[in-house]
């Protein structure tokens, strides 16, 4: 999971940097860059809180993994 996140993160960052450099990054994409992290952090915190601190690392990372892999896939199509 961590390896997939690392690869997808590098891809996502690279693709977004290209959009920014080319002046093609939309306001919606800029909002996504912030809001997706807020949502993933909220979901991870909720998992930790509801598990009394006994959540498995995979469960805590799942919201982050889901977003970064979805972003890489979505940005590949642009």
Domain that holds residue 52: 2-76
The predicted-structure confidence for 35-61, as pLDDT tens digits, reads as follows 999 999 999 999 999 998 899 999 999
CA 63, 64, 69, 70 dihedral sign is positive
**Does the pLDDT at position 1 exceed 90?**
yes
Task: Report which DSSP code applies to 25.
Answer: -
Q: Stretch 63-77: mean pLDDT, rounded?
A: 96
Q: Stretch 24-35: mean pLDDT, rounded?
A: 96
Could you identify the residue written with the tokens 């807020």? 38
Whether the Cβ atoms of residue 44 and residue 60 lie closer than 8 Å to each other: yes
The count of structural domains within the chain is: 1
């Amino acid at each position: 999971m961590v390896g997939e996140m690392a690869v997808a993160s590098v891809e996502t960052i690279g693709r977004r940097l290209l959009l920014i450099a080319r002046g093609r990054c939309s306001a919606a994409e800029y909002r996504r860059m912030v809001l997706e992290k807020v949502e993933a952090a909220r979901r991870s915190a909720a998992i930790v809180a509801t598990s009394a601190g006994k959540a498995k690392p995979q469960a805590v990372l799942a919201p982050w993994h889901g977003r970064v892999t979805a972003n890489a896939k979505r940005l590949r199509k642009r």
